[in-house]
Amino acid sequence: MGHLHHNYGPEARYAVEREASLPTTMHEREIARGLEYGLQGADSIVDRSIPTFSRGELPHFAGINTFLKAPYVEDVRKCGEYDVAILGAPFDGGTTYRSGTRFGPQGIRKISALYGPYSFELGVDLRESITMCDLGDIFTIPANIEKTFDQISKGVSHVYGSGAFPVILGGDHSIGYPTVRGIAEHHSGNVGIIHFDRHVDTQETDLDERMHTTPWFHATDIPNVPAKNLVQIGIGGWQAPRPGVKVGRERGTTIMTVTDCVEMGIDRAAERALEVAWDGAEAVWLSFDVDCLDAAFVPGTGWPEPGGFLPREVLKFIQLIADARPLAGIEVVECSPPYDNADITSLIATRVICDTLGCLVRAGHLPKKKGAA
């Protein structure tokens, strides 16, 4: 690496220095694979790394829409061969007003093609650090919430039990209950939950069913998922049903509003969230509802609410959480492409996942040690 001048900012200097140390081995393998499977490019193509058929990151507008163009693995029995497994939960049968989140996995995958595997600020190249696959979607049952929950729990349990880190593309927030249920069965100790949202989602029923307003009531009914380890970040506005607030008060959950987090500072807020979620727990699940952001940034969601987080606040928060301790997995929910504008909601969903994975890699939490659950 050549001499660096002194005009960089601290973060930029770290990023530039870090890039020089990143390997290119997997990128070179991807190029070789593309040439083998996609044929050498036409004679007029000067860059001989370009194949005839797109088989890698480039061009970003080409190819099949898997998440970050990760390989599609049709045989889900092989997911344990990868460090990270992405799976969709295209379900909006728990939605109580504006439906459309069943298209969330499609929307997130589509816009994820805009990204590459390298983050400048984090100094991480996912392609060079971990292996990822896309398993496609869980077969959800549109007319039956409970059968869909069983499908999701089985799918998530399979991936988690394989040793792969699960990334769930929602879907409405009702899936929070079955995803946690799928994780909890692999632990004898307690599981904590870090929940980003504008809504508490802790009432027992809504419209006489277990809907997207109820996942945490039922998740914290699981014996090893105590309510004291549920921390909810960003709650506020005019869409918080009082029955859910009552349940949280009675069960001793922790709520942090946007104002709480901003006034104490994102660093301290993240410390408190980690303290609560990890108190006596052996694993923590990250559940991210896109509507925790201000409605201006997430028009493509069912219950947008002004006054939420700014993107840079949320991304900082997520980075601190992923840096601190290994996570059991992550779900991103309530992304509704039919209501979106220029894919910006799907874009923030993608960014949250990428930053989480990047920080887990940077902190040494991914790839997981062989044999670790």
Residues in binding site for Mn(2+)? 173, 197, 199, 201, 289, 291
Closest CA to 286 of 158, 132, 170, 142: 170
How does 129-138 read in b/e, with b if 16+ C-beta sit within 10 Å? bbbbbbbbbb
Question: How far apart (Å, rounded) are the C-alpha atoms in residues 360 and 354?
Answer: 10
Q: Are strands 281-289 and 230-233 parallel, antiparallel or unpaired?
A: unpaired
ω into residue 241 within 30 of 0, thus cis? no
- What are the backbone angles phi and psi of residue 191, rounded to the nearest 5°? -115, 130
Question: Distances in Å between the alpha carbon of 258 and those of 268, 309, 313, 373?
Answer: 13, 6, 10, 33
Q: What is the H or E stretch that residue 332 is in?
A: strand 329-333
- Tokens, residue 175: 């899936």
- Closest by alpha carbon to 340, among 280, 291, 373? 291
Binding residues, by number, are 173, 197, 199, 201, 289, 291
Show the DSSP H helices in the chain as ranges. Answer: 10-21, 25-38, 104-112, 126-129, 145-162, 176-184, 215-219, 242-251, 258-264, 266-278, 311-324, 344-362
